């Protein structure tokens, strides 16, 4: 990883439902806009949408009925990066990428994350789980 010239990190708690996920996506887009290339903003928001949506649909909330979106973003000499972490109260199933049939209406979320992110994974935490993704793009 290149030495960061500029880096920002923050997190937010939002309600564990669709409107909370929507609020988090909008706030993420607003925070990233103007700091990193627009294509990376779009990819980061798309990845966040999938991770937040999965947390709402498939996992329990954190204490207080919330989910957490944490973001670290920065620019270096030749690239820009965004690291996203969505924490929830966990699920009995570990999130995995699935192969969806062409006529399936769902099941593509983590395939989208895998296609857009340089890497992604799942970490168990004391109060649940965190699904994370790292995205990068060249700035030159």
CA dist 64 and 84 (Å) reads 21
Only one residue has tokens 């965004």, namely 82
Query: Residues 12-71: pLDDT tens digits?
Result: 999 999 999 999 999 999 999 999 999 999 999 999 999 999 999 999 999 999 999 999
The count of C-alpha atoms lying within 13 angstroms of the C-alpha of 4, restricted to the half-sphere facing its C-beta, is 13
- CATH, domain 13-92+109-138, list 3.40.50.1970, 3.40.630.30, 3.30.565.10, 2.70.98.10: 3.30.565.10
Query: Residues 27-37: pLDDT tens digits?
Result: 999 999 999 99
How many other CB atoms sit within 10 Å of the CB of residue 35? Answer: 15
* pLDDT beyond 50 at 115: yes
Query: Residues 75-103: pLDDT tens digits?
Result: 887 899 999 999 999 988 776 656 655 55
User: Residue 131 in 3-state DSSP?
Assistant: strand
The pair of three-digit structure tokens given for residue 102, joined into one six-digit string = 């062409």
104 pairs with which residues across the strands? none
pLDDT of residue 138: 85
Handedness of CA 28, 29, 30, 33 (dihedral sign): positive
The pair of three-digit structure tokens given for residue 27, joined into one six-digit string = 């706030």
């Amino acid at each position: 990883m290149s030495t960061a010239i500029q880096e920002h990190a923050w997190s937010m708690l939002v309600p564990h439902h669709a409107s909370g996920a929507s609020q988090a996506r909008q706030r993420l887009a607003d925070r990233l806009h103007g700091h990193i290339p627009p294509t990376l903003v779009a990819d980061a928001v798309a990845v966040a949408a999938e991770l937040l949506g999965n947390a709402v649909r498939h996992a329990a909330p954190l204490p207080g009925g919330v989910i957490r979106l944490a973001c670290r973003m920065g620019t270096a000499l030749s690239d820009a990066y965004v690291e996203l972490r969505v924490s929830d109260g966990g699920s009995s199933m570990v999130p995995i990428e699935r192969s969806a049939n062409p006529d399936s209406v769902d099941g593509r979320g983590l395939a989208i994350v895998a296609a857009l992110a340089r890497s992604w994974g799942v970490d168990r935490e004391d109060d649940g789980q965190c699904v994370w993704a790292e995205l990068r793009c060249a700035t030159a």
